Chain A
Amino acid sequence: MKSSDFKVLSDSEIKLIHQHSLGILESTGIRVNVKKMRDLLADHGCKVDEGSKIVMFPADVVEKLVGMAPREFKVCGPDAEKQWLISPDARIWSGLGTAIRFIDAGNPDRREATQEDVRKHMVLFDHLNNITCNQMDIMAQDIPMHTTHVEAIRTWANNCSKPTGMGAYGVMAATDMVEMLSIVIGGKEKLQDNHPFNVIVSIQSPLSTAAIQIEGMMILAEHRVPCIMAPEAMAGTTAPVTLAGLLVQHNAEIISHIAMAQAVNPGTPVMYGSVSTIAEMRWGSAALGAVETSLLSTASAQLAHYYDIPCRAVAGATDSKLIDIQAGIEREQSMTLAAMGGVNYITCVGTLESTNLGSHEMVVIDNEIIGRVERAIRGIEVNEISLALETIKHVGPDGNYLMEPHTQKHFRKEHFMPRVTDRDQLETWEKGGKKSMVDHAAAEVEKILESHQPREIDPGLSKELDRYVEMVANRTVADFEAAEWEY
């Protein structure tokens, strides 16, 4: 059978949290920092106080709008025919984070992330079989900041056949995203049904909104770009210290944002997102690698599935600054629990230092951890073939199974076959230079970067993207600020 699930809430506890979230939305409300969105919500029957920008959501309005979100949808690569399912019953693994610095194997010093790292990252993602989406995981520091989003999309389109995404960074940037995506996919109308891009809508906890995120979401949802509603509520600072209290608030935040996206464009694909965690009580900072993150991620999956929509949660994030045992413990535990907890879109592959630090070696190691986790979840298959009775009889006492066709036929599927885990005999290991898993991963990174053939892009499209990037490069930061809507 398939391995058993991991659950942290009972059915009645899920309903209780849902009811209390509705109560909070109705009585306390959410501060919505964009006038256009407040007007839209008022049209849908919400009570708006323009002075405080607080919007009270009647329960029936929330339930009606949330009910419009589709159960599942497919994301695709730059070529729309290559697709992956996002659904409460499926699971894919993704990057994410905003690594501004990088750490390389064998060098404890960190350095600034570059656009070349973004390219390498895209190539690795394209190659590695357990990882699907990238999510503008790296903030290159060697290009003007106002071109980061367009440079990332160009690099993706030129190098990666899998889906991408990024944050909703205000009116002008979100418009650029739509324009560039329609160049890649062949027209804006095609974006309605093909989803090469997921947008992360960061929620400002407690019970508020980030204006640029709402603007970006409004523009992208108009084109039915899947929106991931993602609070990073921290138990003890931006949320109640108790996890149940955090969940009431975080659930209210997420379902109100889902309601907003549906108000913009009914049927827009969404994910119930969670980056929520506990606050580190010495500093008040987020502790992404904490075990409680896994509890909140699993609770989020349960709540998402109660609404019959897919869940995105963070796992594999660590607070360690090194590729060390802490990084290993925190990522392996959170990845295992997120998968067993039913999270459908698991992010933050390849990151360290609370997702601020990137590592190409970590991406390769995470691909391997995911393989282990997926194997654990697959459980033990029991059927006529796997029971191997004929083979047991054939080999008999004191025999050996290594030469059996049954062995050759099934070992690759039955055993997870690691690529960078070291299982060499001692002397072989010594002769091979006493390499660690990180050394093996560094060699694997090099091998992939040397041998991988990235997708072929139509040269005409490529030029069109170049022209768009050049146009954005000629803007100033002030141009972006001027484009913002009324708050």
Chain B
Amino acid sequence: MSENQLAKLTESIVQIDVDGAMEAAEAVFSAEIPGLDILNNSLVPALERVGVLFRDGEYFLPDIMMCVSIYNQVFERIEPELKKGNYTSRGKIMLGTVKGDTHDIGKNILSALLQGNGFEVINLGMNVSPEVFLAKAKEMEPDVIGMSALLTTTMPEMKHTIDLFEEAGLRDKYKIVIGGAPVTQDFADKIGADGYGAEAQSGVDLLKQMLA
């Protein structure tokens, strides 16, 4: 019985049937299926299938966004229960667009894909100064900090941020990765970042590898 209900939820998420998914989720909740079961046997497999559809060119970004939004709505409901148990996410990732830059489409795509892959994401938004990155890192203690920039003129802020972490003696406490249209592997090496993703999917792959 619970298997059928979980399969229905999985299928509704994959088919991007928002109403169907919410209905299936309510059924799952009222059947009192354990949160960990919902996560491992419905939410995660659903997003894995969506990931494959995306990779094969059948699904596109708006599809991923909707699937992740459904995932988040269900996840929020089971999160308190999960936290009481011994559940841990794949890793805590803090994302932000650097100071002076107000472009965040790419970062939001990455954020959605990361959540869909079982990461916990803290999204600091746009125009994030080195100081805010540092303060938030101390407060939230992420495993990885990801910075993005769309403008060549704001790219130097990535270096400023890394330098500030260095000065504070906290550079080795966090992995720092960067991305964004003008950013390259060369640039990442030059400023001492730990990694670089050319687009959202390779960003996910990078973090999976990093936190494996």
Chain A residues with a Cβ under 8 A of chain B: 398, 400, 402-405, 407-408, 411-412, 417, 419, 425, 427-428, 431
- Could you tell me the distance in whole angstroms from the C-beta of A247 to the nearest C-beta in chain B? 45
A411 touches B62 (CB 8 A): yes
Residues of A within 8 A of B102 (CB): 398
B61-112 residues with Cβ-Cβ distance < 8 A to A are 61-63, 65-66, 69, 102, 104-105, 108-109, 112
Q: Decide: A427 near B63, CB < 8 A? Known: A402-B108, A405-B18.
A: no
Q: Please, which residues of chain B bring their CB within 8 A of the CB of A404?
A: 62
Of the candidates B61, B63, B198, which one forms a contact with A425 in the assembled complex, judged by CB atoms under 8 Å apart?
B198
| Sample of 16 further A-B pairs with CB below 8 A, known A407-B62, A408-B16 | A400-B108, A402-B61, A402-B65, A403-B65, A403-B108, A403-B112, A404-B62, A405-B18, A408-B62, A408-B63, A411-B60, A425-B181, A425-B199, A427-B184, A428-B198, A428-B202
Write out, one digit per residue, whether chain B residues 42-66 have a CB within 8 A of any chain A CB (1) or not (0).
Answer: 0000000000000001001111011
What are the 9 tightest A-B residue pairs by CB atom distance, in nearest-first order?
A408-B62, A427-B198, A407-B62, A408-B66, A403-B65, A411-B62, A400-B105, A428-B199, A425-B199
Interface size class of B (residues with CB under 8 A): 20 to 34
List, sorted by A's number, 30 A–B pairs whose CB atoms are closer than 8 Å: A398-B102, A400-B104, A400-B105, A402-B61, A402-B62, A402-B65, A402-B105, A402-B108, A402-B109, A403-B65, A403-B69, A403-B108, A403-B112, A404-B62, A405-B18, A407-B62, A407-B65, A408-B16, A408-B62, A408-B66, A411-B62, A417-B60, A419-B57, A425-B199, A427-B184, A427-B198, A427-B199, A428-B199, A428-B202, A431-B198
Nearest A residue (CB) for B201: A428
User: Chain A contacts of B63 at CB under 8 A?
Assistant: 408
Q: Which residues of B contact A403 (CB under 8 A)?
A: 62, 65, 69, 108, 112
Closest to A447 in B: B56
Nearest chain B residue, comparing its CB with the CB of A403? B65
- The complex places the Cα of A79 from the Cα of B172 at a distance, in Å, of 68
0/1 interface trace, chain B 3-17, chain A, CB 8 Å (1 if under): 000000000000010
List, in ascending order, chain B residues with CB within 8 A of A427's CB.
184, 198-199
Instruction: Please name the residue on chain A nearest to B69 by beta carbon.
Output: A403
- In the assembled complex, the CB of A116 is this many whole angstroms from the nearest CB of chain B, namely 27
B contact residues around A411 at 8 Å (CB): 60, 62
A407 to B112, CA, bound (A): 16
Chain B residues touching A, majority SS: helix
Nearest-CB distance from B211 to chain A (Å)? 22
How many angstroms from the CA of A402 to the CA of B60 in the assembled complex? 10
The answer for the CA separation of A407 and B16 in the assembled complex, in Å, is 13
Q: A400–B112 Cα gap in the complex (Å)?
A: 14
Residues of chain A within 8 A (CB-CB) of B57 are 419
Whether A408 and B65, one on each chain, are in contact in the complex, defined by CB atoms closer than 8 angstroms, is: yes
Query: A431 — which chain B residues lie within 8 A by C-beta?
Result: 198
Cα distance, A398 to B16, chains bound together (Å): 26
The complex places the Cα of A412 from the Cα of B62 at a distance, in Å, of 10
Bound Cα distance A398, B198 (Å): 24
- A427–B184 Cα distance when bound, in Å, is 9
Q: Which residue of A lies closest to B16 (CB)?
A: A408
- Which of chain A's residues have a CB closer than 8 A to the CB of B16? 408
- Taken together as a complex, chains A and B put the C-alpha atoms of A405 and B68 apart, in Å, by 12
For B18, list chain A residues within 8 Å (CB). 405
Residue of A402, A412, A431 with most chain B CB atoms under a 10 A cut-off:
A402
With both beta carbons as reference points, the residue of chain B lying nearest to A405 in the complex is identified as B66
A9 to chain B, nearest CB (A): 43
With CB as the reference atom, state the residue of chain B lying closest to A408: B62
Report chain B residues within 8 Å CB of A400: 104-105, 108
B169-212 contacts to A, CB under 8 A, are: 181, 184, 198-199, 202
B106-135 CB mask vs A (1 if < 8 Å, else 0) is 001100100000000000000000000000
Q: Min CB distance, A428 to chain B, in Å?
A: 6
Chain A CB within 10 A, most for which of B60, B109, B112 = B60
In angstroms, how far is the closest chain B Cβ from the Cβ of A352?
26
Q: Which residues of chain B come closer than 8 Å to A417, judged between CB atoms?
A: 60
Bound: A412/B57 CA distance, A:
13
Contact partners of B69 in chain A: CB under 8 A: 403
Kindly state the separation between the CA atoms of A408 and B63 in the bound complex, as whole angstroms: 6
User: How far apart sit A427 and B63, CA to CA, in the bound complex (Å)?
Assistant: 24
Q: Which residue of B lies closest to A431 (CB)?
A: B198
Q: Determine the chain B residues whose CB is within 8 A of the CB of A405 once the complex forms.
A: 18, 66
Q: Which residue of B has the minimal Cβ distance to A425?
A: B199
Instruction: Report the nearest A residue to B109, measured CB to CB.
Output: A402
Return A391 CB to nearest CB of chain B, in Å.
12
In the complex, chain A residues whose CB is within 8 Å of the CB of B66: 405, 408
Q: How many Å from the CB of A47 to the closest CB on chain B?
A: 63
Residues of chain B within 8 A (CB-CB) of A428 are: 198-199, 202
A449 to B102 alpha-carbon distance, docked (Å): 46
Q: Which residue of A lies closest to B105 (CB)?
A: A400
Bound-complex Cα distance A407 to B61 (A) = 10
CA–CA, A411 and B61, complex, Å: 10
Complex: A405 Cα to B16 Cα, angstroms: 10
Q: How far is the CB of B163 from chain A (nearest CB, A)?
A: 26
A412 vs B181: C-alpha distance in the bound complex, in angstroms?
A: 25
Closest to A427 in B: B198
Chain B residues positioned under 8 Å from A402 (CB to CB): 61-62, 65, 105, 108-109
B residues 142-184 touching A (CB-CB < 8 Å): 181, 184
Q: How far is the CB of A287 from chain B (nearest CB, A)?
A: 37
A408 and B61 alpha carbons, distance in the complex (Å): 8
Chain B contacts for A398, CB-based, 8 A: 102
Nearest A-chain residue to B197, judged by Cβ: A427
Q: For B181, list chain A residues within 8 Å (CB).
A: 425
- For B61, the chain A residues whose CB sits under 8 A away are 402
Min distance, Cβ B98 to any Cβ of chain A, angstroms: 17
B195, chain A: closest CB distance, angstroms: 14
Write the nearest CB–CB distance from B47 to chain A, whole angstroms: 15
